[in-house]
Amino acid sequence: MYFVSRTQIIVAIGAVVLALHVLDLVRRRRLSEEYSLLWVLSTVVIAVMGFTTPVLMWITRLLGMYGAASTAYSFGLMFCVVMLLYLSQKISRLGTENQALVRELALLRFELESSRPSPGSRKEPQ
């Protein structure tokens, strides 16, 4: 197996370690399958770039970059941006759902409070 640089070796090993860690998090139910698919897919892409030098060099030439490390770094940065956008979308949706739940809870509390007789209006049995 031919490697271009130490950076490529570190990236390849890092991708394998990250994939194993993601699978362990899913196994322990600390990461949902929805997110794990994105992480495993990205680590597979990074591992392929790290372990197959011809593919990495082809992608580097295709993108017009000067070094293989730049290509790996660019893909990592691109993944971070995509994940940040995806998670921002999820947080926005959850914030909207949370506001709707707070409104519904406030209305239910109001209805409950208004349906109870007030303490001063209660008639004592004679």
Rounded to two decimals, the pTM is 0.65
pLDDT tens track for 34-44: 888 888 888 88
Sequence-separated (6 or more) residues with CB below 8 Å from residue 107: none
Confidence band, pLDDT 50/70/90 cuts, at residue 76: confident
How confident is the model at residue 93, as a pLDDT?
95
Q: 9-31, pLDDT tens digit by residue?
A: 787 788 889 889 999 999 999 98
User: CA 19 to CA 69: how far, in whole Å?
Assistant: 20
Q: Is the pLDDT of residue 107 over 60?
A: yes
Amino acid occupying residue 108: L
Q: Which two tokens stand for residue 1?
A: 């197996």
Which comes out higher in pLDDT, residue 6 or 110? Answer: 110
